[in-house]
């Protein structure tokens, strides 16, 4: 467990700082220099002749143009790297593919032994790793030594354990194949560990690309892999440029892309991987709020806040960069923050006495300067008191008197800049906290347990710290909601990112040029065809018209466009009914209704949600003959098969009604002094498009039931070809106490509805079951606001339990939030070091 109470000022001393006499005593104290010796690091660089290359199949390959590796602390050149040409990627992938055959089939214990050996060797070289990382990135040696390295080691131990027990714990899952991993510069070694450890543990092989300005710890790691006896090709490190990064994503031999970095690149990757059937996990930016209530231990909060924003010079995706303080303590609290900031020292990274060191490079410094300049122009107050050495340094900064709409409040600065605002009530605090396109993490400070928990459960973010900040451990997942990305790293929840259900294929991995070319026209509304010949009844009179409407907000609504689609019997002879052709307006109405219902529904007791689902099952059961006949009429399956489908649908409703109160989360066994709990929260509003297969009722139920029971609101397009199985459910729903707006049904052309759902800003996830073209277009368009997607183009046999129900659907219906709650008499800032 990493607790970032590592700023050089010991906290007991700090706690007494409020008395002026001790403050002056403290400020008169001076620090002597205490530099870390870097000679071992320099000798390691020399052992490579000062030049690195790509690490492929266990060998160093030095080809391509040479670039400098710079030390941000003083701008000196540490070493050089050959930029691997693209041809080397080919070799890397080939070796990964070959290695995958044996690595993925190793006995679990053997894989565990390899990961264990890596952990042991990392530990052995921890000092060298710390110095290399500090030199290459510019971060304070103390932070790397006490934080990054220990946590990286912990990830390998933790995942060695998973490798050992994987077959028992996850028997239905298998590895993916070759994984591309692209990491940023802010935590080069740690991000490497977060990515490589779970990938290897689950049987995948890896091609890793470190960020261009921080490659050295990845190279040292490669040396350590050799020493650890890892077979060649299991991990390849490529040292290429942006073209290399693009190729690592577009290559059709890649089974998964894992990325940490900026939201813009994340969106780009979501589009690039769309429709290919490969996995993608994104850990992106944040603008994490820190809420300080008047009931907080204010000194503890100051300490946590300072660590939360100034750690690693603020170049942290989960930095607590948005301070929200209760109005009645605002002045007092800000005074304390300023006083604490004035004691921070900025200096060279190897100096053990400093709190903050160098930024990564001049580009980053300029970016931060520009943001602060915006603040000044907008009339905000900028507090900066710390002296900085010349070069790539920036002082700890506090910005007050700033509007919610300011770019300083909304955008990620990625530097040591804290922006403060006030609130009056908890409701307002939560509203402000959630007023962000990001949702990575948040902190809440109060001594009132109830208030802390209510806030933690109401803020939409993947990681919540109560009276603390920046607690991490391999046993708890890390990752975000909204535009902070999707997928988790760490914990059991992180393993799914590197595994697939055994029955699934490895994906087709490519999308045809034709599909891409016609993408702009996909999902455009076409004029609905004219109605076909009228239905006649046995009396010879025209039958009483039964044209089901849409089901929106718990009521039946006529389609906005007033067009209908005929639904014919399976032999094409009889018109069974006409359904409304839903257009964009219908979908938007449905999304609005769903958003209105989502909050209340998500907060209902699980018991209540399960009762409603059981009730739907009961009411469906009363009318099962009617449904079986309808299925036969539409699909021609025969009434017996129709009855089997209805019975299976009832059973499926029972399954998910059962899971309403059995999938809430767990206590994570972290090294934290306190409780870390993972909570499976609803995703929010999920848009769904059902397939056109021969099981229209069962596929519909299999999709909506898990989502609803886990507290989401749904907008669903039933099968385009056989929609009547869903529209016949309206009465069942009306008699089952399901609140209006929780389930909204829009009939019509699948592509039209899917497009609108994928592009809608107020939808949090989209599920699409259909063809490759649909999957491609849905995933590409979902990148707009980075919706989670769950798509399937390979068809499912919904009658087979393994394919049609279970954990996969529950996971897709949930966001995992990890809440960290310290314990002890003084709750604030508890933690343990590795």
Distance CA 190, CA 186 (A): 9
* Residue 220 three-state SS: helix
Candidates 94, 97, 241, 454; binder of ligand NAP (CB under 6 A) is 241
Closest distance of CB 99 from ligand NAP, Å? 23
Nearer residue to ligand NAP within complex by CB, 190 or 296: 190
What residues numbered 183-202 form the site for ligand NAP, per CB under 6 A?
183-186
Instruction: Please give the distance of CA 438 from its chain centroid, rounded to a whole number.
Output: 11
Nearer residue to ligand NAP within complex by CB, 361 or 454: 361
Cα–Cα distances (Å) from 782 to 76, 483, 485, 686, 738, in that order, read 44, 11, 12, 12, 28
* Closest residue by beta carbon to ligand NAP: 261
The strand pairing partners of 288, in sequence order, are: none
Residue 264: CB partners within 8 Å, gap ≥ 6? Answer: none
Closest distance of CB 371 from Mg ion, Å? 23
Distance CA 519, CA 593 (A): 29
Distance CA 89, CA 55 (A): 11
The two structure tokens encoding residue 428 = 């307002």
What residues numbered 296-355 form the site for ligand NAP, per CB under 6 A?
317
Residue 242 in the binding site for ligand NAP (CB under 6 A): yes
Residue 136 in the binding site for Mg ion (CB under 5 A): yes
Q: Are 136 and 214 contacting, i.e. CB atoms less than 8 angstroms apart?
A: yes
| Chosen from Mg ion, ligand NAP, none, partner binding at 136 (C-beta under 5 to 8 Å by type) | Mg ion
Residue 207 in the binding site for ligand NAP (CB under 6 A): no
Each residue 360-399 as x (binds ligand NAP by CB under 6 A) or -, in order, gives: -------x--------------------------------
Nearest to 278 by CA among 297, 264, 260, 258: 258
Query: Where does residue 761 rank: exposed (0-12), middle (13-18), buried (19+ CB within 10 A)?
Result: exposed
Instruction: Please give the distance of CA 325 from its chain centroid, rounded to a whole number.
Output: 27
Closest distance of CB 215 from Mg ion, Å? 8
Nearer residue to ligand NAP within complex by CB, 415 or 770: 415
* Residue 541 three-state SS: coil
Candidates 2, 211, 430, 742; binder of ligand NAP (CB under 6 A) is 211
Q: Are 131 and 277 contacting, i.e. CB atoms less than 8 angstroms apart?
A: no
Closest distance of CB 364 from ligand NAP, Å? 6
What residues numbered 102-121 form the site for ligand NAP, per CB under 6 A?
none
Is 283 annotated in the active site?
yes
Nearer residue to ligand NAP within complex by CB, 282 or 671: 282
Residues in contact with ligand NAP, counted by CB under 6 A, come to a total of 24
Q: Are 750 and 743 contacting, i.e. CB atoms less than 8 angstroms apart?
A: no
Residue 249 in the binding site for ligand NAP (CB under 6 A): yes
Closest distance of CB 387 from ligand NAP, Å? 24
Closest distance of CB 402 from Mg ion, Å? 33
Distance CA 759, CA 737 (A): 31
Residue 246 in the binding site for ligand NAP (CB under 6 A): yes
Nearest to 770 by CA among 677, 819, 699, 678: 699
Compute the residue count for the chain: 834
Residue 294: CB partners within 8 Å, gap ≥ 6? Answer: 326, 328, 329
Nearer residue to ligand NAP within complex by CB, 183 or 819: 183
* Residue 188 three-state SS: helix
Nearest to 69 by CA among 208, 215, 186: 215
Nearer residue to ligand NAP within complex by CB, 141 or 317: 317
Distance CA 180, CA 236 (A): 10
One-character DSSP codes across 690-717? ---SS-HHHHHHHHHHHHHHTT-EEEEE
Q: How many helices (H) and strands (E) does the chain have?
A: 31, 34
Candidates 71, 88, 182, 660; binder of ligand NAP (CB under 6 A) is 182
Residue 212 in the binding site for ligand NAP (CB under 6 A): yes
What residues numbered 64-93 form the site for ligand NAP, per CB under 6 A?
none
| Chosen from Mg ion, ligand NAP, none, partner binding at 474 (C-beta under 5 to 8 Å by type) | none
Nearer residue to Mg ion within complex by CB, 70 or 265: 70
| Chosen from ligand NAP, Mg ion, none, partner binding at 265 (C-beta under 5 to 8 Å by type) | ligand NAP
The two structure tokens encoding residue 632 = 């036969």
For the chain, how are helix, strand and coil distributed in percent, rounded to 5?
Answer: 45, 20, 40
The CA angle 781-782-783, to the nearest 5 degrees, is 85
Distance CA 662, CA 681 (A): 13
The strand pairing partners of 348, in sequence order, are: none
Closest distance of CB 146 from Mg ion, Å? 21
What letter would DSSP give residue 801?
H
Nearer residue to ligand NAP within complex by CB, 316 or 821: 316
Piece of the chain touching ligand NAP by CB under 6 A; list 237-245, 494-502, 513-521, 669-677: 237-245
Q: Are 381 and 400 contacting, i.e. CB atoms less than 8 angstroms apart?
A: yes
Closest distance of CB 461 from ligand NAP, Å? 14
Distance CA 181, CA 283 (A): 12
Cα–Cα distances (Å) from 228 to 224, 323, 803, in that order, read 6, 45, 40
Each residue 256-295 as x (binds ligand NAP by CB under 6 A) or -, in order, gives: ----xxx--x--x---------------xx----------
What residues numbered 448-487 form the site for Mg ion, per CB under 5 A?
none
Residue 414 in the binding site for ligand NAP (CB under 6 A): yes
The two structure tokens encoding residue 450 = 């109830």
Longest Cα–Cα distance in the chain: 104
What residues numbered 210-239 form the site for Mg ion, per CB under 5 A?
213
Each residue 173-212 as x (binds Mg ion by CB under 5 A) or -, in order, gives: ----------------------------------------
The CA angle 811-180-520, to the nearest 5 degrees, is 75
Nearer residue to ligand NAP within complex by CB, 242 or 427: 242
Closest distance of CB 282 from ligand NAP, Å? 9
Residue 326: CB partners within 8 Å, gap ≥ 6? Answer: 292, 293, 294, 422, 423, 424, 429
Nearer residue to ligand NAP within complex by CB, 261 or 277: 261
* Closest residue by beta carbon to Mg ion: 136
Nearer residue to Mg ion within complex by CB, 185 or 465: 185
| Chosen from Mg ion, ligand NAP, none, partner binding at 182 (C-beta under 5 to 8 Å by type) | ligand NAP
Residues in contact with Mg ion, counted by CB under 5 A, come to a total of 3
Closest distance of CB 396 from ligand NAP, Å? 18
Nearer residue to Mg ion within complex by CB, 213 or 288: 213
| Chosen from ligand NAP, Mg ion, none, partner binding at 523 (C-beta under 5 to 8 Å by type) | none
The residue annotated as part of the active site, out of 36, 133, 143, 283, is 283
Q: Are 709 and 609 contacting, i.e. CB atoms less than 8 angstroms apart?
A: yes
Closest distance of CB 306 from ligand NAP, Å? 20
Each residue 36-75 as x (binds Mg ion by CB under 5 A) or -, in order, gives: ----------------------------------x-----
Nearer residue to ligand NAP within complex by CB, 246 or 447: 246
Piece of the chain touching ligand NAP by CB under 6 A; list 141-149, 244-252, 274-282, 604-612: 244-252
Nearest to 320 by CA among 389, 240, 416: 416
Chain residues binding Mg ion by CB under 5 A are 70, 136, 213
Chain residues binding ligand NAP by CB under 6 A are 182-186, 209, 211-212, 241-242, 245-246, 249, 260-262, 265, 268, 284-285, 317, 367, 412, 414
- Please give the positions annotated as active site: 283
């Amino acid at each position: 467990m990493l607790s970032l109470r590592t700023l050089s000022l010991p906290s007991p001393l700090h706690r007494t700082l409020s008395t002026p006499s001790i403050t002056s005593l403290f400020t008169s104290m001076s620090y002597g220099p205490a530099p870390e010796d870097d000679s071992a690091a320099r000798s390691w660089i020399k052992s490579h002749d000062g030049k690195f290359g790509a690490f492929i199949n266990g060998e160093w390959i030095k080809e391509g143009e040479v670039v400098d590796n710079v030390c941000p602390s003083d701008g000196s050149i540490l070493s050089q790297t050959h930029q691997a040409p693209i041809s080397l990627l080919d070799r890397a992938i080939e070796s990964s593919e070959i290695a995958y055959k044996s690595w993925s089939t190793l006995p679990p214990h053997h894989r565990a032994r390899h990961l264990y050996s890596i952990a042991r060797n990392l530990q052995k070289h921890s000092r060298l790793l710390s110095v290399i990382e500090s030199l290459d990135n510019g971060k304070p040696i103390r932070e790397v030594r006490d934080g990054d390295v220990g946590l990286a080691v912990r990830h390998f131990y933790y995942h060695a354990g998973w490798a050992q027990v994987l077959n028992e714990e996850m028997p239905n899952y298998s590895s993916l194949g070759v994984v591309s991993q692209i990491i940023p510069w802010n935590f080069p070694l740690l991000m490497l560990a977060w990515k490589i450890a779970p990938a290897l543990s689950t049987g995948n092989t890896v091609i890793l690309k470190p960020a261009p300005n921080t490659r050295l710890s990845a190279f040292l790691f490669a040396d350590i892999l050799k020493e650890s006896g890892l077979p060649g090709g299991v991990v390849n490190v490529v040292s290429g440029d942006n073209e290399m990064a693009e190729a690592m994503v577009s290559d059709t031999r890649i089974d998964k892309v894992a990325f940490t970095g900026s939201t813009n690149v994340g969106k780009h990757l979501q589009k690039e991987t769309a429709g290919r059937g490969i996995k993608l996990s994104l850990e992106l930016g944040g603008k994490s709020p820190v809420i300080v209530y008047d009931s907080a231990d204010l000194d503890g909060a100051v300490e946590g806040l300072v660590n939360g924003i100034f750690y690693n010079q603020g170049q942290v995706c989960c930095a607590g960069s948005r301070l929200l303080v209760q109005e009645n303590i605002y002045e007092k609290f800000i005074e304390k923050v300023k006083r604490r900031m004035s004691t921070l020292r900025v200096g060279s990274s190897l100096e053990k006495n400093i709190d903050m060191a160098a930024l990564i490079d001049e580009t980053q410094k300029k970016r931060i300067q520009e943001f602060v300049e915006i603040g000044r122009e907008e009339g905000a107050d900028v507090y900066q008191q710390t002296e900085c050495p010349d070069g790539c340094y920036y002082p700890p900064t506090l910005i007050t008197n700033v509007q919610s709409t300011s770019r300083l409040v909304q955008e990620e600065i990625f530097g040591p800049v804290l922006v403060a605002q006030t609130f009056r009530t908890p409701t307002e605090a939560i509203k402000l906290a959630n007023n962000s396109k990001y949702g990575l993490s948040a902190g809440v400070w109060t001594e009132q347990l109830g208030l802390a928990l209510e806030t933690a459960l109401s803020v939409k973010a993947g990681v919540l710290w109560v009276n603390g900040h920046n607690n991490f451990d391999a046993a708890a997942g890390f990752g975000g909601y909204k535009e902070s990305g999707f997928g988790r790293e760490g914990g059991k929840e992180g393993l799914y990112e590197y595994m697939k259900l055994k029955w699934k294929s490895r994906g087709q991995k490519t999308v045809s040029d034709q599909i891409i070319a016609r993408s702009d026209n996909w999902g455009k509304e076409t004029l609905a065809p004219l109605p076909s010949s009228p239905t006649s009844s046995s009396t010879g009179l025209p039958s009483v018209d039964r044209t089901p409407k849409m089901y929106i907000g718990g009521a039946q609504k006529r389609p906005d466009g007033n067009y209908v689609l005929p639904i014919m019997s399976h032999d094409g002879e009889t018109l069974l009914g006409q359904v409304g052709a839903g257009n964009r307006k219908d979908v938007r109405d449905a999304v609005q209704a769903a958003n209105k219902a989502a909050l209340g529904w998500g907060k209902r007791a699980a018991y209540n949600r399960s009762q409603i689902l059981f009730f739907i099952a009961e009411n469906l059961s009363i009318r099962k003959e009617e449904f079986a006949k309808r299925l036969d009429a539409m699909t021609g399956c025969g009434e017996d098969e129709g009855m089997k489908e209805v019975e299976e649908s009832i059973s499926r409703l029972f399954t998910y009604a059962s899971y309403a109160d059995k999938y809430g989360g767990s206590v994570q066994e972290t090294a934290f002094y306190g409780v870390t709990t993972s909570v499976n929260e609803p995703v929010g509003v999920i848009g769904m498009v059902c397939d056109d297969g021969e099981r229209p009722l069962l596929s519909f139920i299999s999709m909506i039931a898990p989502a609803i029971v886990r507290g989401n609101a749904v907008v669903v397009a039933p099968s385009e070809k056989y929609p009547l199985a869903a529209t016949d459910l309206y009465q069942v729903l009306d008699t089952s106490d399901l609140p209006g707006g929780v389930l909204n049904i829009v009939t019509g052309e699948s592509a039209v509805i899917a497009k609108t759902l994928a592009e809608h800003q107020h939808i949090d996830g989209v599920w699409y079951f259909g063809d490759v073209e649909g999957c491609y277009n849905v995933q590409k368009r979902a990148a707009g606001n980075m919706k989670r997607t769950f798509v399937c183009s390979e068809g499912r046999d919904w009658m087979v339990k393994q394919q049609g129900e279970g954990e996969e659907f529950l996971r897709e219906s949930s966001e995992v939030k990890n809440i960290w709650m310290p314990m002890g008499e003084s709750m604030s800032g508890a933690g343990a070091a590795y």
